[in-house]
Structure 1
Amino acid sequence: MIRKVLGLVPAEFSRLIPRLFAAIIAFSLSQAVAYLLLVPVLQALFDNDLGLAWIWVLVMAATVAVMAIFGYLQASVGLRIAVGMQRGLQTRIGDHLNALPLGWFETHGAGPLSRIAVENIREIQGTIAYLLAKVLNGIVVPIAVAVGMLFIEWRVALIMLISAPVLFGVNWVANRSYASSDESVHEAAAEADSRVVEFAQAQPVLRAFGAVGSGNRALERALHQQRAANKRMVFIAVPGLIVFSLVVQALFLLLAYAVVSRFTGGGISPAAAIALIAVSARFIEPLNQTAQVSNGLRSAAAAVDRVTGLLEEPVLPEATGAVTPSASGVEFDAVTFGYQPESPVLSNLTFTVPAGTTTAIVGPSGAGKTTLLRLAARYYDVDSGRVIVGGHGVREQPTETLLNQLSLVFQNVYLFDRSVAENITIGRPEATEAEFDRAVAAARVDEIAARLPDGVDSPVGEGGSALSGGERQRVSIARALLKDAPIVLLDEATSSLDPHSEAVVVRGVHELTKSKTVMVVAHRLTTIAHADQILFLDGGRIVERGTHTELLAMDGRYADFWNERSRATGWHLASATAPA
């Protein structure tokens, strides 16, 4: 486990590791020597040889001073490595998350990630700053005391040398189930964290459906599971500590018995007997201390495995060579893809979106429409075939180059807990004031700013909670407008908006898509009708393609879809007149 922890130390701090080990071992050896010096000090005092006693006291004082120096060095070097490890690990995790497929985040919640990046790294820090010294001290001091005791009273030393590995074995057996228990606690805590965040973010929905307090079954269940996991850990850890403590006390009694037997048999003096009992107590203390931190070590080992597991999540291969986009078209060439390899969502899909044209993608739910947009933005790599954006395969161009060509407006708009202005400029902070104003006006965000206390400098709340759904869409469109990328991926989300918000958003979309290459998952008939080509997707395949007029003339799947949507838009509630 220690090797795994040290493997996570950043390269610039790894040179300090030998210095840390040297300081810990020197501290432990000087501590053992200080314990052993009790024997000659007490012997000299009992012999009433004050001169010799003072000499041994001075030697002991010098040893304690050396111990203090190395204790300070081990603490300062350990803390320095621990702080550097925190910064280095969190940076590594951040860089690794940036390299993971965007789709990875759709199946991994914020709760587990936050625990790994904060709690687990703190546990690993503690291993370097605190636990490592305790563990080595608990090993080196007893061994050094036992070896030194060979020159004072070999019988007592023999008991020490035999008992130390037995104690470590008892501790291991008593706590062997701790790791699985700790994993259960971590999973339960991560689930509880996610549910608490959800509880805070979804208050309007929860209150509307009476799912607050005891009515929130998901939160109640998560908290109950967390309490149960903590109880199980206590039931596992405490018996182990009790058993180990009993064995330690039995060992001390055995050592004391051996010393007293030697004294009553005339083998050692009263001074030596007292000193040996004191040294035996010092021998026991580090062993007991090691047992107390062993659970912390196992918890740290689990934390190391979780951090390592996250860092080993496969990333998308990053192209190293520079690529210059030669066009603004999009092409799918015999693309097959599935979120699970055995269940393809798209099968042998081929089509082209020429530069400057709009392609609408329609079809039933689950047909793979949104997946097409995700693959164009390289949320995932395809299983076979090739996705081409800007004249180059998405795998052949650096992520930054690919995403610089794309403006994305998806159904689920996420706004950061910052101001309206900061949310709009996040993709292009260097934009001029005039460019910012044009984007704001085109998306009608100026109407939103007019009612906010600080205009565009007003915070939008976590996830944009201070704004309505339509207003969040407007901000996202302004963000995409300001980026001004040549290719627009649009997962239209206007069906749930009120007529005014819908009209504003549609105007913003039209402004966004002028002279751009557009792939749009279409829900609105007006968007479908004006597309340069329409792809009707079903079961991961294109079953019909053509313009609106051509597809209606075919009188096939698209025509049925169009007629059904047309009838739906004409639905209304007839007024009822009460009888006279």
Structure 2
Amino acid sequence: MIRMLLRVLGHEYARPVRRTVFLMTTAAVVEGLSYALLVPVLRALFGSTPGDARPWLIAFGAAVAVYAVLRYVADLSGFRAGTTLLRGMYHRLGDHLARLPIGWYSPGRVGEVSVLASRGVLQAMSVIAHLLAPLISACVTPLTIVVVMLAFDRRMGLAASAAVPVVAAIQIWTGRSMAATDAERVERDHEATARVIEYLQAQPVLRAGGRTVERFRLLDDSLRELQRASRRSTLSALPGVLGLTLTVQAMFTVLLFLGAYLALGGHIGAAEVLTILVLAARCADPLLSLSDIGGQLRGARSELARLDTVLRTEPLPEPREPIQPVRHDLEFESATFRHGDRTVLDNVSMSVPEGQRLAVVGPSGAGKSTLLQLLARFYDVDAGVVRVGGVDVRAIDTEVLMAQIAIVFQDVYLFDGTIEENVRLGRPDAGEAEVRAAATAARLDEVIERLPGGWATNVGEGGALLSGGERQRVSIARALLKDAPIVLLDEVTSALDPVNEAAVHEGIERLMAGRTVVMVAHRMRTVQRADRVVFLDGGRIVEEGGHDELLHRDGRYADFWELSMAPATRE
């Protein structure tokens, strides 16, 4: 467990962890040894001169005081080490997530990582602060007490030590038997959580379709599966709990009978028997707590395993000797990209001269957005080359590459902050005049004027307090403020009303002016402003050329154009 913890965190944290383990072990040993002083105390009390017990009582009190100080220092070290590890874990996880390719962040994985980064990290790091001390105490103190028993009476000590391998075997067997049920319960827990979120988010659609009862049934089924998995997990732990309890009780009973037999035979004094029984009783509590501690440790270990899996995910390799592109033209040369078993792009070759605009059109699933993602190096191609300014994107430092590119997506995400803070993400060091100019160019100033808070208006998580068109204007203002020479646009007006579409188009035109542009177009009117058009289907370039040229060919693009313009004609 400690080895995995250090592997996840890094061995630079080994020293405070080892110090904490040493202090906690020492405290547990001192606790066990302090009980050895009960023998002379009880021997004096049961003897002819009870007053002789006074110095032994003082010694016992001093030993308990030493134990209390050690336990305080050990617990304090545990809390400090836990805080240090928690901070280090967040820093390491955050740094690693920032280096992973954007394509790694699928919707399902984002939810998994968000849970892992909150509850998962806290549970994993709680080992040092909250679980290590009781675990060491539950293991080391009883073993120390057994050694003390062996020192006073070898027969009683051997009888007590017989329980040690039994307790260890029960713990190992319980851990192995519960591994599968614990994993199933965690999986059902995640599934039920996803169902609850889905049910809440889908309320408008469900109520409009009158299907709330059916959705309740799906949610109830998920919760019932979670209940069954929890019941199976509890039942699988029951044999271990019962076995541990019976072992502890059997050990105490054997010691009681053996002590009585030896005392009646005159082989041992009553004080020694009573002391050993007190020591045996003191062993019971920490041993019985092992079941609960073991369950918590298994949960923490599973979270550590998930953290380890994320941290072992390799980021896209950075070039050892990065090359700085001096031009802003774009090129795909025999680019092939696969996602799982599916070939998304197949041997694609095309180029975009600096300062020109390329429109990418085609049916859904043709690979249009993937082209943009490969240019921004969200992924690396499986074959071929993607170049920016004549340089393979894999040979460009990631920060340098991203500084060259401004991206406006169809689905805009805004951080929970003010409008100004979200615009300034494009260039945090920009002056106030530059921010205002970018907002005006994106026609965001119209939105700001009608909001009560103006620039200080909070947009909510994900920009939920703004409309889709308003979020797009913030995104365009952010891209304008960045002032990057390459612009990638991904169907930015496909879901906007006419008023917002007109405003966004005006902002997009200002954003594209004088820049190298690749736009994925859903509404075909946008394509007419492109210098060149590429029609993708099935991951391949079916047609390419100018807008008018492709219409005259009367091929796939012409058919697509007619279909897209038909609704407008009927209106």
TM-score by length of 1: 0.93
Superposed, which structure 2 residues align to 1:215-230 within 5 Å? 215-216=215-216, 219-230=219-230
CA–CA separation in structure 1 for the residues paired with 2:216 and 2:361: 37
Instruction: State the Cα distance separating 1:204 from its structure 2 match.
Output: 4.2
Contact 2:357 2:516 in 1 (8 A): yes
Amino acid at match of 2:28: S
Superposed, which structure 2 residues align to 1:315-334 within 5 Å? 315-334=315-334
Q: Give SS of 2:339's match.
A: coil
CA–CA separation in structure 1 for the residues paired with 2:298 and 2:143: 23
CA–CA separation in structure 2 for the residues paired with 1:430 and 1:201: 37
The residue that corresponds to 1:39 in the other structure is: 39
Q: Give SS of 1:347's match.
A: strand
The residue that corresponds to 1:523 in the other structure is: 522
Q: Give SS of 1:151's match.
A: helix
CA–CA separation in structure 2 for the residues paired with 1:217 and 1:373: 41
CA–CA separation in structure 1 for the residues paired with 2:338 and 2:9: 37
CA–CA separation in structure 2 for the residues paired with 1:11 and 1:31: 30
Amino acid at match of 1:551: L
Instruction: State the Cα distance separating 1:188 from its structure 2 match.
Output: 2.8
CA–CA separation in structure 1 for the residues paired with 2:271 and 2:566: 105
Call closer, same or farther: CA 1:458–1:390 in 2, change over 3 Å: same
The residue that corresponds to 2:262 in the other structure is: 262
Q: Give SS of 1:15's match.
A: helix
Instruction: State the Cα distance separating 1:33 from its structure 2 match.
Output: 1.0
Amino acid at match of 1:487: I
The residue that corresponds to 1:97 in the other structure is: 97
CA–CA separation in structure 2 for the residues paired with 1:344 and 1:426: 35
What is the root-mean-square deviation in Å for CA atoms of aligned residues? 2.1
- Percentage of pairs with the same residue: 43
CA–CA separation in structure 2 for the residues paired with 1:141 and 1:481: 67
The residue that corresponds to 1:231 in the other structure is: 231
Deviates more, 1:121-130 or 1:202-211: 202-211
Q: Give SS of 1:306's match.
A: helix
Q: Give SS of 1:344's match.
A: strand
Contact 2:331 2:349 in 1 (8 A): yes
Superposed, which structure 2 residues align to 1:367-406 within 5 Å? 367-406=366-405
Q: Is residue 293 from structure 1 mapped to residue 293 from structure 2 by the alignment?
A: yes
Amino acid at match of 2:416: D
CA distances 1:281-313 after superposition (whole Å, capped 9, x unpaired)? 123333223233111111121111111111112
Instruction: State the Cα distance separating 1:356 from its structure 2 match.
Output: 0.1
Call closer, same or farther: CA 1:565–1:324 in 2, change over 3 Å: same
Instruction: State the Cα distance separating 1:52 from its structure 2 match.
Output: 3.4
Q: Give SS of 1:164's match.
A: helix
Instruction: State the Cα distance separating 1:355 from its structure 2 match.
Output: 0.5
- Structure with more helix by fraction: 2
Q: Give SS of 1:360's match.
A: strand
The residue that corresponds to 1:503 in the other structure is: 502
CA distances 1:146-174 after superposition (whole Å, capped 9, x unpaired)? 22222211111001222111112123223
CA distances 1:306-356 after superposition (whole Å, capped 9, x unpaired)? 11111112211123445422111111111100111x421111111111110
Q: Give SS of 1:485's match.
A: coil
Contact 2:416 2:462 in 1 (8 A): yes
Call closer, same or farther: CA 1:319–1:138 in 2, change over 3 Å: same
CA distances 1:238-276 after superposition (whole Å, capped 9, x unpaired)? 342123212211221111111111112222222222122
The residue that corresponds to 1:142 in the other structure is: 142
CA–CA separation in structure 1 for the residues paired with 2:506 and 2:163: 82
CA distances 1:438-468 after superposition (whole Å, capped 9, x unpaired)? 2111221122122211112111222222222
Q: Give SS of 1:249's match.
A: helix
Size of the aligned set, in residue pairs, is 571
Structure 2 residue runs of 5 or longer lacking an equivalent are none
Q: Give SS of 1:345's match.
A: strand
Contact 2:8 2:311 in 1 (8 A): no
CA–CA separation in structure 1 for the residues paired with 2:505 and 2:155: 91
CA distances 1:192-221 after superposition (whole Å, capped 9, x unpaired)? 444444555555445444566874555444
Q: Is residue 169 from structure 1 mapped to residue 169 from structure 2 by the alignment?
A: yes
Deviates more, 1:9-18 or 1:110-119: 9-18
Superposed, which structure 2 residues align to 1:146-157 within 5 Å? 146-157=146-157
Q: Is residue 345 from structure 1 mapped to residue 326 from structure 2 by the alignment?
A: no
The residue that corresponds to 1:312 in the other structure is: 312
CA–CA separation in structure 1 for the residues paired with 2:544 and 2:243: 74
CA–CA separation in structure 1 for the residues paired with 2:455 and 2:218: 37
CA–CA separation in structure 1 for the residues paired with 2:261 and 2:532: 100
Deviates more, 1:97-106 or 1:489-498: 489-498
TM-score by length of 2: 0.95
CA distances 1:90-132 after superposition (whole Å, capped 9, x unpaired)? 1111111111111111243443222211222222222112322
Deviates more, 1:557-566 or 1:193-202: 193-202
CA distances 1:30-88 after superposition (whole Å, capped 9, x unpaired)? 11111122112101111133453122222212211221121112101111111111111
Contact 1:20 1:77 in 2 (8 A): yes
CA–CA separation in structure 1 for the residues paired with 2:88 and 2:206: 40
Q: Give SS of 2:570's match.
A: coil
CA–CA separation in structure 2 for the residues paired with 1:556 and 1:440: 41
CA–CA separation in structure 1 for the residues paired with 2:224 and 2:389: 52
Amino acid at match of 1:186: V
CA–CA separation in structure 2 for the residues paired with 1:485 and 1:217: 51
Deviates more, 1:550-559 or 1:200-209: 200-209
The residue that corresponds to 2:87 in the other structure is: 87
Q: Is residue 6 from structure 1 mapped to residue 6 from structure 2 by the alignment?
A: yes
The residue that corresponds to 1:354 in the other structure is: 353
Q: Give SS of 2:250's match.
A: helix
Deviates more, 1:402-411 or 1:417-426: 417-426
Contact 1:211 1:217 in 2 (8 A): no
Amino acid at match of 1:526: R
CA–CA separation in structure 2 for the residues paired with 1:159 and 1:532: 90
Call closer, same or farther: CA 1:347–1:245 in 2, change over 3 Å: same
Instruction: State the Cα distance separating 1:567 from its structure 2 match.
Output: 2.4
